[in-house]
A = this chain, B = another copy of it.
Amino acid sequence: MQVDPERHSRLVRAITDAGLDAIICSSATDVLLCTGYWPVMSMSLSVVTADGEVHAILPEDEQELADATSGAELLTYKPSSLDDISNVGTRLGAPLAKVGRRLGLLNSKVGIRVELSVQPEPYVVSANFHHSLTGLISSVLPQTTLLGCDDLLENQKAVKTKSEVAHILESVHLASYGFGAAKSGVQPGLHEPQVASTVQSAFDCASEGSPVQRSYGSFFCMSGPNSAKAGAAFARTRYRKLQGGDLVMIHANTCADGYWTDITRTYTVGQPTLRQREIGSAIDEARRAALDVIQPGVAARDVDEAARSVMRAHGFGEAFTHATGHGVGYAAANANSLPRIHPCSPDVLEEGMTFNIEPAAHFDGYGGMRHCDVVAVTGTGCKVLTDF
Q: Chain A interface (Cβ within 8 Å of chain B)?
A: 27, 40-41, 43, 59, 61-62, 79-80, 82-85, 87-89, 112-121, 123-135, 191, 193-194, 196-198, 200-201, 204-205, 207-209, 214, 217-218, 232-234, 236, 239, 253, 321-323, 331-336, 340, 342-345
Contacts and interface: CB of A to CB of B under 8 A. Distances in A.
A207 B233 contact: no
Contact of A322 (B80, B89, B333): B80
Chain B CB within 10 Å, residue with most, of A59, A88, A125:
A125
Given A129-B130, A214-B236, A85 B336 contact: yes
Given A80-B335, A121-B126, A239-B208, A114 B132 contact: yes
Given A80-B233, A83-B344, A125-B118, A205 B194 contact: yes
Contacts of A62: 234
B61 A89 contact: no
Nearest to A191: B208
Contacts of A89: 115-116
B343 A125 contact: no
A232 B87 CA distance: 15
Each complex incorporates copies of this chain amounting to 2
Tell me the interface secondary structure of chain A in the complex: loop
Contacts of A82: 321-323, 342-344
Contacts of A207: 193, 239
Contacts of A234: 40-41, 61-62, 123, 125
6 contacts: A27-B130, A41-B233, A61-B232, A82-B321, A116-B127, A125-B234
Contacts of A232: 61
A122 B117 CA distance: 16
Contacts of A127: 116-119
Chain B CB within 10 Å, residue with most, of A130, A193, A218:
A130
Given A131-B131, A201-B201, 5 more contacts: A62-B234, A112-B130, A118-B126, A129-B130, A194-B205
8 interchain residue pairs of minimum CB distance? A89-B116, A61-B232, A121-B121, A197-B201, A114-B131, A197-B204, A124-B253, A87-B336
Nearest to A343: B82
A62 B219 CA distance: 19
Nearest to A196: B204
A217 to B, nearest CB: 6
A151 B213 CA distance: 36
A204 B193 contact: yes
Contacts of A123: 121, 234
A324 to B, nearest CB: 10
A63 to B, nearest CB: 10
Nearest to A236: B214
A123 B235 CA distance: 9
Contact of A61 (B113, B233, B253, B340): B233
A323 B80 contact: yes
Contacts of A331: 125
A212 to B, nearest CB: 10
Contacts of A193: 204-205, 207-208
B332 A125 contact: yes
B134 A116 contact: no
A32 to B, nearest CB: 15
A262 to B, nearest CB: 10
A41 B41 CA distance: 19
Nearest to A134: B131
A346 B351 CA distance: 57
A150 to B, nearest CB: 8
Contact of A124 (B40, B88, B121): B121
